[in-house]
Amino acid sequence: MAGSTYGTIFKITTWGESHGKALGVVIDGCPSGLALCEADIQVYLDRRKPGQSRISTPRKEDDAVEILSGVFEGRTTGTPISLLVKNTSQRSADYSEIASYYRPGHADYTFDKKYGFRDYRGGGRSSGRETIGRVAAGAVAAKLLKEMGITVTAYTRSIGPIEADMSAFDKDTILSTPTAMPDIQASALAENYLKEIMSQSDSCGGIIECIIEGLPAGIGDPVFEKLDANLGKALLSIGAVKAVEIGDGIQVSKARGSENNDAFRMDGNRVIKSTNHAGGILGGISDGSPILLRAHIKPTPSIFRPQNTVNQNKEEISIQIKGRHDPVILPRAVVVMESMAAITILDALLINMSAKAENVISFYKS
C-alpha cells in the first residue's frame, strides 16, 4: 500500500515524482453537475507555485493543469476527474550527487529502508511537488463547498518568531503578501527575517492556521472518524507538519473545565456557543461554530550549510546541499492545508447525508 489514496466517497489518488514526466490526481466520487474548468483549478495551483517572490525558490514552474476526464460540457459527470500537470523545469543534474547519501531531515534514508532504493531526483515522491495533486483536488472540493456556503481559509500565522497580529486580520492580504500572512506589517517583518535567515544559509518554520466557516452542526462521525481526527490526519499527512491543534489546542492541557467549557446560548432561534475553545467540534462532530485548526511546520531541511550524514556505503561524510530551495515552505503550504481541509470536510458532508433514516426514506420516496 503506497498510501496515495484518500477519502471515502470523495476519494482522491495522487501520483507523480518531483522529476518524473508529470504529476497528477484522480478524483473519484465528485458529485455530478458541478461547473468546472481548468481555470478553477489553476488559481489554486498558482498559489503553491514556486518562483513568485524573493523568499521562494527561484525555480520557475508553470504547473499548468489539464483536465483529462470527468468533465463534459463544462460540468463534472460524476465519473473520475483526472488532472495532470507536466514537469517542465527539472534539472536532475543538481541531484545526481544525493543519490549516494541521506540528507538530514529528508526521507532519503527511510525510503531506501522501505523500498530498497529510491528515485532520488529532487526527492522523488517525497518532494513537496507531491502536493500538486492535493491542491488540484482541493480546488474542486472548495468549489463545491462554496456552493453550500462553506469556506476554508488558511494563512500563515507566524514565521519563526514573527507572528501576525490577528486584530489586523485581512483576508485579501493572505493572497497578496509573499508570506501569505493576513497582516501586511507582520509580513514585511517576516520578509526581513527570512532574508537574514537566508544570508546565514539557514531556514525556519512557522505556524499555519485554518478556519472553516459555514459548516452546519452534525458533520463528522463518532469514535474513529471524528472530524477533528480526520482533519488532524489530513494536516499531518502534509510533509513537515509536526503538530496539529484544534481550537484552543495545546492550551487545554493547562486550562480548567470552568474555563474551557463553551456555554450554549440562543442567538434568536439558533443554538450557538458563547465561546469557541472547542474549535467548532464536540465529540468529533461539528457544532456549528467555525472550525479552527493550527499546524506547526518544521524548517525546510535543505539548508546550504555543511551537515554531517552517512552515505549508502555506511561512511560518515560531510555534505553541502545545492539546488534551489525555499528558506521557509509556509507561503506555499498554506493552499495545501486549505486543500486538505476542504477535501476532508467535503467527504464528511457526503458521508453524513445518510445519517438519519428519515432523510434516506424521503430522498428515495420523492
The neighbour count for residue 259, using CB atoms within 10 Å, is: 12
* Min CB(184)–a copy of itself separation in Å: 21
Instruction: Measure the CA–CA gap between 288 and 217, rounded to whole angstroms.
Output: 4
Is the alpha carbon torsion for 70, 78, 45, 237 positive or negative?
negative
* Min CB(20)–a copy of itself separation in Å: 5
- Given a contact cutoff of 8 angstroms between Cβ atoms, the answer to whether 8 and 128 are in contact is no
* Min CB(156)–a copy of itself separation in Å: 11
* Min CB(208)–a copy of itself separation in Å: 9
Give me 154's grid cell. 488558511
* Min CB(347)–a copy of itself separation in Å: 10
* Min CB(173)–a copy of itself separation in Å: 20
What DSSP line would sit under 150-177, residue for residue? -EEEEEEEEETTEE--GGG--HHHHHHS
- Given a contact cutoff of 8 angstroms between Cβ atoms, the answer to whether 104 and 46 are in contact is no
Instruction: Measure the CA–CA gap between 7 and 233, rounded to whole angstroms.
Output: 11
* Residues 6+ positions from 191 with CB-CB distance below 8 Å: 54, 55, 178, 179
Q: Name which of 80 and 323 has its Cβ closer to a copy of itself.
A: 80
* Min CB(176)–a copy of itself separation in Å: 23
**CA-atom Rg of the chain in angstroms:** 21
Instruction: Measure the CA–CA gap between 259 and 64, rounded to whole angstroms.
Output: 49
Give me 155's grid cell. 494563512
Q: Name which of 174 and 329 has its Cβ closer to a copy of itself.
A: 329
Q: Name which of 104 and 178 has its Cβ closer to a copy of itself.
A: 104
The neighbour count for residue 283, using CB atoms within 10 Å, is: 12
Q: Name which of 188 and 229 has its Cβ closer to a copy of itself.
A: 229
Q: What's the one-letter identity of residue 20?
A: G
Closest C-alpha to 60, from 91, 16, 96, 104:
91
Q: Name which of 176 and 264 has its Cβ closer to a copy of itself.
A: 264
Q: What's the one-letter identity of residue 12?
A: I
- Given a contact cutoff of 8 angstroms between Cβ atoms, the answer to whether 176 and 183 are in contact is no
Query: Would you call 334 exposed, middle or buried from its count of C-beta atoms within 10 A (0-12, 13-18, 19+)?
Result: buried
C-alpha dist (Å) from residue 115 to 1, 5, 95 = 12, 19, 19
* Min CB(285)–a copy of itself separation in Å: 4
* Min CB(12)–a copy of itself separation in Å: 9
* Min CB(27)–a copy of itself separation in Å: 9
Q: Name which of 84 and 174 has its Cβ closer to a copy of itself.
A: 84
Largest pairwise CA distance in the chain: 71
- Given a contact cutoff of 8 angstroms between Cβ atoms, the answer to whether 245 and 211 are in contact is no
Q: Name which of 31 and 176 has its Cβ closer to a copy of itself.
A: 31
